[in-house]
C-alpha cells in the first residue's frame, strides 16, 4: 500500500496499518468539505458569544469560567502546553504514526471543528515522517490527552520529534521537512488533544497481531495432537453445527486444514476414545479467542470512524454539544475480555505440555533415547518445559481487568476513566507471552515426534510446522534453548509476506 486517501467513507484498520508501515496520506475533497462544514459551525458559535465548553470557556473544573476574546487563542496553546506530561519510554514510531492517522481521520469525520490547517499539518507530518517523541504513560483513557498534546506541540513547532534519524526540537524538525508550523485557531488545541489516538492506534496494531496468533495457536495444538496420537473427533463439522459459534467453527476448520492428510484422520488411530480437556476443548477455547478478537476489532472500527470530540460539532443541528464520546469504554472492556481469552488459550497450551512430557518419557522407557551420530540430539522443548510453567502465572496476572482502577481527578469532575491505553498495552504484553508458550509447545511436540522409532504420517500443515521447527534448530545463531526459541518465534509469527 503506497497511499491512503481519507474520504467520507469509513477508514479501515488495514488503512491504518498501511500508514503505520509508511504509506502516504491525503484528504479527499469530501473529507475537506466535512472539515469546512464543521469549522463553519464553530465560527458561528464564536460570533454568537454563547458559553461553550473549551471554546469560550475554560476546561475541567474551570468549565464555567468565561474567556475574553483575547484569551480564546491563548487558551488553545495553553491546553497543548499544559497537558503534555508523561512518563516512561517513548512510544514506538509505529504507534506514533497510528495515533496521528487516527486523529486525522477523526477530524475528517467532521465532529471536531478543527481548522483545515490543523488537519493539513498532521497529514504533512505523516508524509514527511516527522514523528513526535511522546511518553508511553500519560493517559487514564478519557482522551489520551498527554500523548496527543505532545504530538500537537510538534504541530505548532514546539516539543520534540524524530526526523531523519535524529531527535530534534519540534520547530527544527518541521523546518527541515519544509512544514509550516500550525497557528492554533479557537478549538484547534482542544481538537488535537482531546482524542484517543494512542488507544485506538495501538489497538489496531494489537488486533492484527491477535488474529495471527489465533490461527497459530491451532497449529501448535494440532502438532501436539500428532505427537500424542490425539482424537480428532473434536474438530468434526457436526460439533460446530451443534454449537454454532463462528469462532469455534473457524478454529475447528483450521485444525482440519492443518491436519489434512494425517493418519490421525483415519478411524482407529487415536490413542483414546476421548482426550484430556486441554485437547478436547481446543475448538471451544480457541474459538472464544476468535470471538473476542472479532468483538475487539468491531470496537476499534467504530471508535476509529466516530466523532469523539467534546464538545461535539453537530453540522446537522448547527451547534456544539457537551458529551462523553471521548470515553472509549467499549474498546477498553473488549481488550480486558480479550486478555482473558488469551490466558485461557495459554493455559491449554501449558497443560498440553504436561501430556507431551508424559508422552516423551513413555517413549523413552520403551524405545530408548533417540541418538544422532551416537549422541542424544538436542531436546529444546524439554529444556524449556519449566520456563513455560513460569510464564503462565505472568499471563494469568495480565488477565486482571485494567478498566476499573482510574482514580478521580481534577476536583472530582473527572471521576471515571477507562484505562484504555493500559488495557491495550497489557493485551499486547499478554500476546507476547502466549507466543512464547505456543513456540515451546511446538518444540516439545517436536521432541516427542523425534523420539518415535518411526516418524508418523503427518498432516500437510503439521508437517510444515515441524519443518519450520527443525529449520529453526539448524539456522539459529545460538543453538541454545533461548536462541532456538527466539528464531522459531520470529519465523512462526512473522512469516515472510
Q: What CATH code is carried by the domain that includes residue 7?
A: 1.10.275.10
Neighbouring CB atoms inside 10 A of 144's CB total: 31
Task: Provide the number of structural domains found in the chain.
Answer: 2
Are residues 179 and 215 both part of a single domain?
no
Are residues 170 and 297 both part of a single domain?
no
Are residues 178 and 210 both part of a single domain?
no
Neighbouring CB atoms inside 10 A of 312's CB total: 22
**316, part of any domain:** no
Please, which residues bridge with residue 57 across strands?
Answer: 66
What cell does 171 get? Answer: 520547530
Are residues 175 and 216 both part of a single domain?
no
372 φ, ψ (degrees, to nearest 5): -125, 110
**265, part of any domain:** yes
Are residues 215 and 174 both part of a single domain?
no
Are residues 118 and 220 both part of a single domain?
no
Question: Residue 391 sits in a domain of what CATH number?
Answer: 1.20.200.10
Are residues 31 and 179 both part of a single domain?
yes
Are residues 250 and 104 both part of a single domain?
no
Last residue of a domain, one of 156, 180, 195: 195
**317, part of any domain:** no
**181, part of any domain:** yes
What cell does 197 get? Answer: 489516538
Contact predicate 413/60, CB 8 Å: yes
Last residue of a domain, one of 143, 160, 195: 195
pLDDT for position 50: 82
Are residues 64 and 40 both part of a single domain?
yes
Are residues 233 and 179 both part of a single domain?
no
pLDDT for position 76: 86
- Cα torsion angle, 295, 255, 272, 385, sign: negative
Last residue of a domain, one of 195, 212, 227: 195
pLDDT in tens, the chain (497 residues): 689 999 999 999 999 999 999 999 999 999 999 999 999 999 998 888 787 787 778 777 877 777 776 777 788 888 899 888 899 999 999 999 999 999 999 999 999 999 999 999 999 999 999 999 999 999 999 899 999 999 999 999 999 999 999 999 999 999 999 999 999 999 999 999 999 999 999 999 999 999 999 999 999 999 999 999 999 999 999 999 999 999 999 999 999 999 999 999 988 788 888 999 999 999 999 999 999 999 999 999 999 999 999 899 999 999 999 989 999 999 999 999 999 999 999 999 999 999 999 999 999 888 777 666 666 678 999 999 999 999 999 999 999 999 998 888 877 777 889 999 999 999 999 999 999 999 999 999 999 999 998 999 999 999 999 999 999 999 988 889 999 999 999 999 987 65
Closest CA to 23 of 108, 126, 96, 120: 126
Query: The pTM is what?
Result: 0.94
**315, part of any domain:** no
Domain carrying residue 177: 3-195
**404, part of any domain:** yes
pLDDT for position 413: 77
Contact predicate 309/113, CB 8 Å: yes
**318, part of any domain:** no
Are residues 402 and 485 both part of a single domain?
yes
**268, part of any domain:** yes
Are residues 226 and 152 both part of a single domain?
no
Amino acid at each position: 500500500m503506497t497511499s491512503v486517501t481519507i474520504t467520507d467513507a469509513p477508514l479501515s484498520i488495514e488503512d491504518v496499518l498501511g500508514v503505520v508501515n509508511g504509506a502516504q496520506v491525503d484528504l479527499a475533497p469530501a473529507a475537506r468539505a466535512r472539515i469546512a462544514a464543521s469549522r463553519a459551525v464553530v465560527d458561528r458559535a464564536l460570533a454568537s458569544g454563547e458559553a461553550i465548553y473549551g471554546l469560550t470557556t475554560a476546561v475541567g473544573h474551570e468549565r464555567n469560567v468565561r474567556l475574553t476574546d483575547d484569551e480564546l487563542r491563548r487558551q488553545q496553546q495553553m491546553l497543548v502546553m499544559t497537558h503534555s506530561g508523561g512518563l516512561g519510554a517513548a512510544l514506538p514510531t509505529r504507534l506514533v504514526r497510528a495515533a496521528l492517522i487516527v486523529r486525522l481521520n477523526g477530524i475528517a469525520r467532521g465532529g471536531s471543528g478543527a481548522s483545515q490547517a490543523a488537519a493539513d499539518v498532521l497529514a504533512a507530518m505523516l508524509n514527511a515522517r516527522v514523528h513526535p517523541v511522546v511518553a508511553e504513560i500519560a493517559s487514564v483513557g478519557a482522551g489520551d490527552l498527554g500523548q496527543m498534546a505532545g504530538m500537537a506541540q510538534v504541530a505548532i513547532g514546539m516539543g520534540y520529534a524524530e526526523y531523519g534519524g535524529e531527535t530534534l526540537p519540534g520547530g527544527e524538525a518541521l523546518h527541515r521537512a519544509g512544514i509550516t508550523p500550525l497557528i492554533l485557531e479557537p478549538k484547534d488545541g482542544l481538537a488535537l488533544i482531546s482524542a484517543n489516538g494512542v488507544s485506538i492506534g495501538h489497538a489496531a496494531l494489537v488486533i492484527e497481531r491477535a488474529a495471527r496468533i489465533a490461527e497459530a495457536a491451532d497449529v501448535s495444538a494440532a502438532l501436539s495432537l500428532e505427537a500424542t496420537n490425539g482424537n480428532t473427533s473434536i474438530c468434526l463439522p457436526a460439533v460446530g453445527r451443534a454449537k454454532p459459534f463462528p469462532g469455534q467453527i473457524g478454529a475447528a476448520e483450521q485444525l482440519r486444514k492443518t491436519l489434512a492428510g494425517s493418519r490421525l484422520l483415519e478411524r482407529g488411530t487415536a490413542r483414546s476414545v476421548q482426550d484430556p480437556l486441554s485437547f478436547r476443548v481446543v475448538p471451544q477455547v480457541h474459538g472464544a479467542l476468535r470471538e473476542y478478537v472479532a468483538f475487539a476489532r468491531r470496537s476499534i472500527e467504530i471508535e476509529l470512524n466516530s466523532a469523539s470530540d467534546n464538545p461535539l460539532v453537530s453540522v446537522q443541528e448547527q451547534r456544539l454539544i457537551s458529551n462523553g464520546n471521548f470515553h472509549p469504554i467499549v474498546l477498553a472492556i473488549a481488550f480486558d475480555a480479550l486478555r482473558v481469552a488469551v490466558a485461557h488459550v495459554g493455559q491449554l497450551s501449558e497443560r498440553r505440555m504436561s501430556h507431551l512430557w508424559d508422552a516423551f518419557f513413555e517413549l523413552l522407557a520403551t524405545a530408548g533415547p533417540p541418538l544422532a551420530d551416537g549422541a542424544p540430539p538436542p531436546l529444546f522443548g524439554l529444556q524449556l518445559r519449566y520456563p513455560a510453567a513460569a510464564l503462565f502465572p505472568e499471563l494469568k496476572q495480565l488477565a486482571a481487568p485494567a478498566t476499573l482502577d482510574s482514580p478521580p481527578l481534577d476536583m472530582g469532575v473527572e471521576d471515571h476513566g477507562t484505562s484504555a491505553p493500559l488495557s491495550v498495552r497489557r493485551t499486547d504484553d499478554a500476546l507476547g507471552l502466549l507466543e512464547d508458550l505456543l513456540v515451546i509447545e511446538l518444540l516439545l511436540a517436536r521432541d516427542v515426534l523425534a523420539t518415535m522409532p518411526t516418524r508418523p504420517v503427518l498432516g500437510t500443515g503439521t508437517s510444515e510446522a515441524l519443518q519450520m521447527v527443525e529449520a529453526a534448530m539448524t539456522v539459529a545463531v545460538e543453538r541454545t534453548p533461548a536462541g532456538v526459541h527466539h528464531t522459531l518465534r520470529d519465523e512462526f509469527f512473522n512469516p515472510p509476506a
